[in-house]
Structure formats: C-alpha cells, structure tokens
Amino acid sequence: MPTSSKFDKVAEAILQLAQAEQRTAQRFEELITAQIHTEDRLNSLTNRLEEIAAIQKRTEARLAELAEAQKRTEERVDQLAIHMEEFAEAQKRTEQRLEALAIRVDALAEAQKRTEERVDRLSIRMEELAEAQKRTEAKLAELAEAQKETEKRLEELAEAQTKTEARLDETNKQLGGLAMSFGYFLENEAYKYLPALLARDYGISVQGELIRSYIRDNQDKYLEVNILGEGVRNGDRFLIIGESKSQLSVNSIEKFMYKKLHRIDPPAGMKLFPILVCHMISGPEVAQYAKDKGIALYYSYQFK
C-alpha cells in the first residue's frame, strides 16, 4: 500500500477521533449544564427548607399546649428528612457515576433524568408541606380564639359560682337561725308542759324547774343539756336529761344516747330519766325504737 494512502487513513482516523472527542466534550458540557441546573434547584429547595424551618420554629412556640398537633408536624418533618437523605444518597450515586463518565455517559444521562424526576417530586412534596403548614397555623389561630372564649366563659362561671356560694352561705345562716329558733321554742314549751305530762304518764314529780344548762360528764368536761331537771317518784330520785328535735329519727336517738346519756353518770342515789321532744318523727319505727331504749317521747302537739 502506498505511503500516501496510509497517511490518508491515519489522517481520517485522527479526524474521526477528534470528532468523537468533540462529541464527548459536548456531552460533558451538557452534563455539566444539567448538573448546574440541578444544583440551582437544590439551592432553591434549601432556601425553601430554611423558610419552612423558620415557620416551624414559630409554630413550636405556639404549640406549647397543643402537643398532639406538634407531634404530627414533627412526624411530617421527619418524613421530609428521610426523603432528603434519600436524595443525598441519590446525589452520591450520581457523583460516583460521574467518575466513570468516560465509559457510562448514556447511563449517567439516564441517572440524571431520574434525579430530576425525584427533584420534581420533592418540590411537589415541599409545596404540600408548606400548604399543610398554612392550614396548621390557621387551625392554631382558631384554637387560640376558642381558648380565649372558653377562658372568658370559665371566668363568668367562676364569678357566678362565687355569687351562688355566697347566697347559699347566707341561706344556710338563715336556715340555721330558723332551726335554732324552732328548737328554742320547742324547748321553752317543754319546760312549761313536761312537769304535768311526767306526773300524769310516769308519776314523776318534777322538783323545781326544768332548765337548759351544763353539767360535768364522766370525762370531767362540761356537757350542754337542753332539758335538765330533777324528779321524785315514790321516794326514788331521777336526773331528767332531755333533748328537742324538729324531726326525730332513729339516727338522732342513737346520737342522743351516745353523745349525752353514755357520758352522764347520775349522782349517787339517782337514776337517769331520758326524754326526747319533737315536732314529728321520720318514720313509724322511731317511736317504738325510743320506747325500746327506755326513752320517754313527747310531741309538740301534746303541749297544750
């Protein structure tokens, strides 16, 4: 083969090699441009992330009493962090593929396409997160307003409750005063009419007057007695101990026995004679219970 022909073939091969090199350089330029575009979009996403972080910080300050809503927000942020880590891993794979660019240009271009698609999806997720954040802030504003209204209502209720309690205290004082007045009236009637009734029903002659006074109990303490006096029957002496109740019940009889009778030891040579006076009884068993306990029972309608 002539030398000129060989040179022609070498020249042609060099030309083809140069063209191939030019195409490779062009592909490199396209790839670098695509990479720059990717970095710009990532920078934009980073800025958006910083904005979202600032909004999230304000939200956390407002969510001091709304822990559950904050928990859901944090879970979504955690999901976003996972996606960001996945993106970083994909970027790492992209960089590794760039190292073998000379032999895998087409594969890298396909990988770049997939990266851009993932960036698109991430952008959509970022927009969704921002929209959800707006809804959360709006809901927080509504909840804050509702909380203010609730606190106002509670203050009104507390004020009304205070007024009601004051009225109840006053009513209780008035009722207590009425109860004492009825009690004193009943006792005063008993002082006048019991001597005749005791003489008629039990043959006991009251010595002196029946009074309201204090005596020392078996614990050496003063004990108030509503109806107190002495009586005599066939030479036997009695210490009369009585109490008045507007409405007499079995429970009040037991209290009378425990708080009064059991604490009184009559003087030597005397016996206890218990009496209960009432306007009415709480049930038919009360009169029989008093009789079984040896307590004389009189009603206010007998004082005439």
For the record, the structure tokens of 236 come out as: 């036997």
Give the separation between CA 52 and CA 152, rounded to whole angstroms.
34
Does residue 207 sit in the same domain as residue 148?
no
158, part of any domain: no
Element (H, E) at 63: none
pLDDT 10s digits, 221-248: 999 999 999 999 999 999 999 999 999 9
Q: How far apart are CA 204 and CA 296, in angstroms?
A: 12
CATH number at residue 256: 3.40.1350.10
DSSP output for 12-27: HHHHHHHHHHHHHHHH
Q: Which of 123, 153, 183 is the last residue of a domain?
A: 153
Co-location of 145 and 246 in the same domain: no
* pLDDT for residue 180 is more than 50: no
* Highest mean pLDDT pick, 73-77, 120-124, 283-287: 283-287
Q: Identify the domain containing residue 257 by its residue range.
A: 203-302
pLDDT at 62: 79
For the chain, the average pLDDT equals: 82
Does 81 have pLDDT greater than 70? no
pLDDT at res. 119? 57
Assigned token pair, 40: 């710009």
Same domain, 34 and 141: yes
- Judge whether residue 71 has pLDDT over 80: yes
Interval 152-176 mean pLDDT = 59
Q: Do residues 208 and 142 share a domain?
A: no
pLDDT at 100: 66
Dump the DSSP string for 173-241: HHHHHHHHHHHHHHHHHHHHHHHHHHHHHH--EEEEEEEEEEEE-TTS-EEEEEEEEEEEETTEEEEEE
Examine the domain organization and report whether 145 and 239 are in the same domain: no
Average pLDDT over residues 174-178: 41
| pLDDT for 110 beyond 50 | yes
The number of folded domains in the chain is 2
CB under 8 Å to 183, separation ≥6 — which residues? 226, 244, 245, 246
181 domain residue, yes or no: no
Judged by average pLDDT, the poorest of 22-26, 114-118, 164-168, 280-284 is 164-168
Nearest Cα to Cα of residue 248 among 225, 274, 275, 282:
282
Whether 171 is covered by a domain: the verdict is no
277's tokens: 């006076």
Q: Which two tokens stand for residue 187?
A: 């006792």
Which among 273, 116, 125 is positioned nearest to 207, based on CA atoms?
273
**In-domain check, residue 175:** no
Least confident of 53-67, 139-153, 155-169: 155-169
Cα–Cα dist 256/275, whole Å: 10
Confidence of residue 11 (pLDDT cuts 50, 70, 90): confident
The reply to whether 15 and 92 lie within a common domain is: yes
Judge if 135 and 211 occupy the same domain.
Answer: no
3-class SS string, 83-115 = HHHHHHHHHHHHHHHHHCCCCCHHHHHHHHHHH
* Residue 182 within a domain: no
Residue 182 pLDDT: 46
Instruction: Kindly state whether residues 215 and 130 are assigned to the same domain.
Output: no
Q: Do 128 and 245 lie in a common domain?
A: no
Is the per-residue pLDDT at 35 higher than 60? yes
Work out the average pLDDT over 158-162: 69
Looking at the structure, tell me whether residues 136 and 208 fall in a common domain: no
Contact of 232 with 204, CB cutoff 8 Å: yes
Closest to 297 (Cα-Cα) out of 253, 255, 266: 253
In a domain, 8, yes or no: yes
Whether the pLDDT of residue 86 is over 90: the answer is no
Are 10 and 117 part of one and the same domain? yes
Q: What whole-number percentage of the chain has pLDDT above 90? A: 39
The mean pLDDT of 252-272, rounded to a whole number, is 96
Domain identity same for 129 and 211: no
Band (pLDDT 50/70/90 cuts) for residue 183 is low
CA–CA separation, 249 and 103 (whole Å): 108
